Amino acid sequence: DAGVTQSPTHLIKTRGQHVTLRCSPISGHKSVSWYQQVLGQGPQFIFQYYEKEERGRGNFPDRFSARQFPNYSSELNVNALLLGDSALYLCASSFRPGENNEQFFGPGTRLTVL
């Protein structure tokens, strides 16, 4: 079975531009979470979606948005990019939200903002 997949692998943008990152969860998983990992730090939670509805949002500005599609794949959108948005963006899937459910992570998308 395929794991969590993310696209693109790497992305270079300039300040002010917009970016869309994509994630496909493990087959059968209905929950997708997005995290931002700045170099040298642990991941920071951005969003969680379950059954196409936002279940949680981290402390990120409104420039960050996401959605989940009927096939449970997800997109993360970031508008008006800033230099500080440069990071590894990780997508994680789980069968459903909840304390017992470990999250399985994709390889990430490395975003560089120039």
Partner 1 sequence: AQSVAQPEDQVNVAEGNPLTVKCTYSVSGNPYLFWYVQYPNRGLQFLLKYITGDNLVKGSYGFEAEFNKSQTSFHLKKPSALVSDSALYFCAVRDSYQLIWGAGTKLIIKP
Residues at the interface with partner 1 (CB under 8 A)? 4, 33, 35, 40-45, 48, 55-56, 58, 90, 92, 97, 99-100, 102-108
Nearest partner of 94 among 56, 64, 61, 37, judged by Cα:
56
Q: What is the C-alpha to C-alpha distance for residues 5 and 27, in angstroms, rounded to an integer?
A: 11
Smallest distance, partner 1 to C-beta of residue 2, A: 13
Q: Which is nearer to partner 1, 17 or 112 (CB)?
A: 112
Smallest distance, partner 1 to C-beta of residue 13, A: 19
Q: Which is nearer to partner 1, 15 or 97 (CB)?
A: 97
Q: What is the C-alpha to C-alpha distance for residues 13 and 29, in angstroms, rounded to an integer?
A: 31
Q: Which is nearer to partner 1, 19 or 31 (CB)?
A: 31
Which two three-digit tokens encode residue 45? 């939670």
Which residue type occupies 18?
A: H
